[in-house]
């Protein structure tokens, strides 16, 4: 699953940084019908997790109430240089992941 992450490339230690993620996923609600009237099965990303150098700093339970191609923005403290790694899974068991490096100075 394609995804985009936006975090500052660099930050000062202790700085609160903005983290944004956009994931390509239809977040199919299970309430729509196709051209011939059949119900399209629900399939949404139900869990999203962000680990900063292996430690979970953010987690979300998502549902069909989150828009297609889900967008989430939150904050985290820049503690050390390393990776922010996102992982997620949908109702069909498909998993996705994306990571972005950050350099923390000071």
Partner 1 sequence: MRRRDFLASAVGALALPGAALAQADPVDPLVRALANGAPLRKGKVALVLPQLADNGNSVPIRITVDSPMTPADHVKSIHLYSERNPVPNMANFYLSPRAGRAEINSRVRLAGSQRVTAVAKLSDGSFWYAAAPIVVTLSACLDES
Partner 2 sequence: MRRLALAAVALAAGVALAQERAIAPGELKSGSAFLGSDLRALQNDDFANPGMLWVERGEKLWREPAGKENLACAGCHKDTSMRGVAASYPKIDKASGKLLNLEGRINLCRTERIGAEPLRYESEDLLALTAYLARQSLGAPIAASIAGAARAHFEAGRASYHLRRGQMNLSCAHCHDAQWGKRLLSETISQGHPNAYPAYRMEWQTMGSLERRLRACLSGIRAEMLPYGSQEYLDLELYLAWRAQGLPIETPGVRR
Which residues contribute to the site for partner 2 (CB under 8 A)?
A: 2, 4, 6, 20, 22, 24, 26-27, 67-69, 71
Looking from the CA of 25 toward its CB, the CA atoms found within 13 Å total 32
Residue 72's binding partner among partner 1, partner 2, none (Cβ under 5 to 8 angstroms by kind) is partner 1
* Shortest reach from residue 28's CB to partner 2, in Å: 9
Q: Please give the Cα distance from 3 to 22 (Å, whole number).
A: 6
* Shortest reach from residue 21's CB to partner 2, in Å: 10
Under rule CB under 8 A, residue 58 binds partner 1: yes
Q: Which of 1, 4, 39, 73 binds partner 1 (CB under 8 A)?
A: 73
Under rule CB under 8 A, residue 39 binds partner 1: no
Q: Please give the Cα distance from 46 to 8 (Å, whole number).
A: 27
Q: Please give the Cα distance from 97 to 83 (Å, whole number).
A: 12
Tell me how long the chain is: 106
In angstroms, how far is CA 17 from the centroid of its own chain? 16
Q: Looking at residues 78 to 97 of the shown chain, list those that interact with partner 1 (rule: CB under 8 A).
A: 79
Under rule CB under 8 A, residue 72 binds partner 1: yes
Per the CB < 8 A criterion, the answer to whether 44 and 90 are in contact is yes
């Amino acid at each position: 699953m394609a995804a985009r992450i936006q975090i500052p490339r660099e930050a000062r230690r202790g700085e609160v940084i903005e983290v944004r993620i956009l994931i390509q996923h239809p977040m199919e609600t299970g309430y729509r019908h196709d051209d011939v009237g059949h119900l399209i099965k629900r399939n949404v990303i139900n869990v999203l997790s962000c680990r900063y150098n292996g430690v979970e700093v953010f987690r979300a339970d998502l549902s069909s109430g989150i828009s297609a191609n889900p967008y989430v923005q939150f904050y985290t403290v820049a503690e050390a240089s390393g990776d922010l790694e996102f992982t997620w899974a949908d109702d069909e068991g498909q998993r996705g992941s994306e990571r972005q490096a950050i350099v923390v100075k000071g």
